[in-house]
């Protein structure tokens, strides 16, 4: 008698490694898209179920949430809560220090309430966590680390542990494994997934600042010969006088400036940025981040996908990274939902995931190139390039088609919209 091998019993249909903003957003979209899926979120840091009420601190880091991402959060039923502590961006002002030209994009031009919003990461994370906790088909597994992973027939087997040096807590088999564990994902290395990395030889000073005038909902991007700088409006109102600062400089110079006393730091910032928000009066804790463009050479394999910063980490000044990942998550949800209906037995196979890549490749390429070349073009003191970039900003005002394309890119309204 010939014994037929028993079919693999899967513990989860989809396992997401990484419970940050992208991982939780993806889990919420997947659960919203299909209540039949068993979704596991594996996070190495513990979640505190009894978090205190949100207290926006002066030193909270923030994210720019594009108009397109806001629409996705609205479809998920999250936007009303997120909007309680969101600052609308009514205008984007782009300028080039020491050169003619400049450009302004306003929400009114594009018939929207805001081009986007600025939200503290703490509040965004808290809202996402609260939301996925209440979903029956999402299992939060934290703290847990993937100690081992092995490709098996029609999926992956993960060996989990509660932390460094801890014993195995459980083994989990999943039909589809999604890595969303950040730019420093060690699982990519274990799987032999190669990475392309471009060092910008630049460091970002990230902090929050206060100034003497109300920001009026204006986001500023200022280009200088040493690197771009941006100030995003904070404070939940256009009358507030707080901003999230991203100031990129050569590494040695960034370290030196970041370590200055408050008064000297503010004086340097005033000199570099100008007086568009009046006088800078306060700065919070300063954090330094080395800037690189990082892209994996394989975003998909059979029953495996790499997403978020694990897949592509972008220059922060254009504010495109998280919003690009939101569009990735939405299209992934749509593609998987269709695949589940049409061919559930081969769920997560390479052919299905290739459909996702075919739909996302153009938007990913355009957004990555936009984020890559914008700071490079506008951060040089060479005469020819400086003249060209001055004409480029002036040209945005003279040629509305180009300006509209830039606005749509910034608003996250490029590529095909996903159907959640």
Least trusted range by pLDDT, from 20-24, 31-35, 104-108, 174-178: 104-108
- What value does the mean pLDDT take over residues 158-174? 82
Domains of the chain: 12-197+291-411 (3.50.50.60)
Highest mean pLDDT, choosing among 57-61, 94-98, 103-107: 103-107
| Residue 364 confidence (pLDDT) | 94
| Residue 405 confidence (pLDDT) | 61
* More confident site: 212 or 98: 212
Q: Is the pLDDT of residue 290 over 70?
A: yes
Least trusted range by pLDDT, from 109-113, 122-126, 229-233, 360-364: 109-113
Q: Measured between alpha carbons, how far is residue 268 from residues 98, 186, 250 in Å?
A: 16, 38, 15
Q: What is the Cα–Cα distance from 44 to 21, expressed in whole angstroms?
A: 14
Q: Is the pLDDT of residue 94 over 90?
A: no
| Residue 318 confidence (pLDDT) | 74
Highest mean pLDDT, choosing among 88-92, 163-167, 408-412: 88-92
| Residue 1 confidence (pLDDT) | 38
Q: pTM surpassing 0.85?
A: yes
- What value does the mean pLDDT take over residues 282-286? 96
- Between vectors from CA 240 to CA 237 and to CA 241, what angle results, nearest 5°? 150
Summary mean pLDDT of the chain: 87
Q: What is the Cα–Cα distance from 313 to 118, expressed in whole angstroms?
A: 19
pLDDT tens profile 364-408? 998 898 888 777 665 555 444 444 444 444 444 444 544 566 666
- What value does the mean pLDDT take over residues 203-228? 93
pLDDT tens profile 250-280? 999 999 999 999 999 999 999 999 999 999 9
| Residue 88 confidence (pLDDT) | 96
Q: Report residue 213's pLDDT band, with 50, 70 and 90 as the boundaries.
A: very high
Percent of the chain residues past pLDDT 70, beyond the cut: 83
Torsion angle of alpha carbons 144, 147, 150, 153, nearest 10°? -30
Neighbours of 364 (CB within 10 A): 19
Q: Report residue 53's pLDDT band, with 50, 70 and 90 as the boundaries.
A: low
| Residue 99 confidence (pLDDT) | 55
Percent of the chain residues past pLDDT 90, beyond the cut: 68
Q: Torsion-angle region of residue 172: left (phi > 0), alpha (psi -120 to 50) or beta?
A: beta
Q: Is the pLDDT of residue 221 over 80?
A: yes
pLDDT tens profile 119-132? 999 999 999 999 99
Complete DSSP assignment for 300-366: EETTEEE-GGGTEE--STT--HHHHHHHHHHHHHHHHHHHHHH-GGGTT-HHHHHHHHHHHHHHHHH
Residue 328: partners with Cβ closer than 8 Å, 6 or more residues away? 307, 308, 311, 360, 364
pLDDT tens profile 311-343? 999 988 778 899 999 999 999 999 999 999 999
Q: Is the pLDDT of residue 19 over 50?
A: yes
């Amino acid at each position: 008698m010939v014994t037929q091998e028993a079919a693999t019993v899967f513990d989860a249909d989809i396992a997401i490694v990484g419970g940050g903003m992208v991982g939780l957003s993806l889990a919420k979209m997947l659960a919203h898209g299909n209540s039949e899926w068993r979704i596991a979120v594996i996070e190495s840091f513990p979640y505190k179920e009894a978090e205190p009420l949100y207290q926006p601190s002066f030193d909270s880091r923030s994210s720019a949430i594009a108009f397109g991402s806001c629409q996705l959060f609205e479809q998920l039923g999250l936007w009303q809560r997120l909007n309680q502590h969101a600052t609308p961006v009514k205008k984007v002002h782009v300028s080039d220090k020491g050169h003619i030209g400049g450009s302004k994009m306003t929400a009114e031009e594009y018939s929207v309430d805001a081009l986007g919003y600025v939200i503290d990461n703490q509040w965004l994370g808290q809202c996402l966590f609260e939301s996925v906790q209440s979903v029956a088909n999402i299992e939060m597994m934290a703290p847990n680390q993937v100690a081992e992973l092995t490709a098996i027939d029609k999926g992956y087997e993960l060996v989990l542990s509660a932390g460094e040096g801890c014993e195995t807590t459980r083994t989990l088999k999943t039909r589809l494994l999604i890595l969303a564990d950040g730019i420093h994902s060690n699982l990519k290395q274990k799987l032999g997934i190669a990475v392309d990395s471009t060092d910008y030889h630049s460091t970002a000073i990230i902090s929050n600042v206060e100034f003497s005038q109300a920001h009026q909902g204006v986001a500023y991007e200022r280009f200088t010969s040493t690197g771009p700088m941006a100030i995003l409006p904070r404070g939940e109102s256009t009358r507030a006088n707080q901003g999230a600062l991203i100031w990129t400089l050569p590494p040695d110079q960034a370290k030196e400036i970041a370590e200055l006393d408050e008064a000297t730091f503010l004086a340097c910032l005033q000199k570099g940025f100008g007086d568009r928000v009046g006088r800078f009066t306060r700065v919070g804790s300063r954090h330094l981040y080395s800037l690189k463009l990082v892209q994996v050479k394989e975003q998909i394999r059979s029953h495996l996908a790499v997403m978020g910063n694990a897949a592509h980490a972008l220059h922060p000044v254009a504010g495109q990274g998280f919003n690009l990942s939101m569009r990735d998550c939405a299209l992934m949800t749509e593609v998987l939902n269709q695949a589940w209906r049409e061919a559930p037995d081969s769920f997560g196979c390479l052919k299905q995931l290739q459909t996702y890549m075919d739909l996302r490749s153009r938007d990913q390429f355009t957004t990555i190139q936009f984020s890559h070349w914008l700071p490079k073009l506008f951060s040089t003191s060479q005469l020819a390039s400086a003249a060209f970039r001055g004409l480029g900003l002036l040209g945005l005002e003279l040629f509305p088609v180009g300006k509209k394309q830039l606005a749509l890119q910034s608003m996250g309204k490029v590529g095909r919209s996903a159907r959640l």
